[in-house]
Chain A
Amino acid sequence: DGGITQSPKYLFRKEGQNVTLSCEQNLNHDAMYWYRQDPGQGLRLIYYSQIVNDFQKGDIAEGYSVSREKKESFPLTVTSAQKNPTAFYLCASSIQLQETQYFGPGTRLLVL
């Protein structure tokens, strides 16, 4: 089946620790995105990538990093510099920028 997968479903982070969230798609989409959602709020863009080996900061990139070495993969690292990382993280992809976006099931990150 074609789609977007995210892992893990739940992730616990200790103080000062970097953690990496996985996002994989087999839709052959060029564009991929990472969003953060806080309780009762809409989504905010962290990073997006138009094509392999290219990515751009979104509205809330501080404390996060990404890579795009393969078309199908767009991992997000939450660094120790992100002081309030507890949130629901959603990955999405689209054929090209500004086309219809398709979302993965999300990863819930909690700080211990």
Chain B
Amino acid sequence: GIQVEQSPPDLILQEGANSTLRCNFSDSVNNLQWFHQNPWGQLINLFYIPSGTKQNGRLSATTVATERYSLLYISSSQTTDSGVYFCAVPHGGSQGNLIFGKGTKLSVKP
């Protein structure tokens, strides 16, 4: 089945710094989603981005489907950005099945 790898696994930033998180996937996909899980476990959908670039405030994402990767950019990081960031892609053989990466754990220090 399709493999999803995220890097780095852990990231520590000082407040105000910028960062780039990467998601590689092993097969062609028709959509990709980025999620943020806060320290209490709640997952929030950040982007639905099968290709191209989208921006939402300090966050933006780019997916290059032909090269099988996606990037999540966080600018001017804040302590509230802390948590785990997941990317997920659909399982090729099952319409309803999203395959999640293991996530990037981000800690933003004041």
Interface residues of A (CB under 8 A from B): 31, 33, 40-45, 48, 50, 56, 58-59, 88, 90, 92, 97-103, 105-106, 108
Contact = CB atoms under 8 A, between A and B. Distances in A.
Interface stretch (B37-45, B61-69, B70-78): B37-45
Contacts of A101: 33, 45, 98
B28 to A, nearest CB: 14
Nearest to A42: B100
A42 B96 contact: no
A100 B33 contact: yes
A42 B89 CA distance: 12
B41 A106 contact: yes
A100 B48 contact: yes
Contacts of A56: 94, 96
Given A88-B41, A97-B96, 9 more contacts: A42-B103, A43-B86, A43-B98, A98-B96, A99-B48, A100-B45, A101-B98, A103-B43, A105-B42
A48 B97 contact: yes
A11 B94 CA distance: 30
Which of the four size classes fits the interface of chain B?
20 to 34
B48 A31 contact: no
10 contacts: A33-B96, A42-B4, A42-B86, A42-B100, A42-B101, A50-B96, A97-B96, A103-B42, A106-B42, A108-B41
Given A100-B33, A100-B48, A58 B97 contact: yes
Contacts of B88: 42-43
B56 interface: no
The 3 closest A-B pairs by CB, nearest first: A42-B100, A48-B96, A103-B43
A100 B35 CA distance: 10
B96 A45 contact: yes
B98 A45 contact: yes
Contacts of A41: 102
**Interface centre among B48, B86, B90, B97, by most A CB within 10 Å?**
B97
Nearest to A40: B102
A42 B102 contact: yes
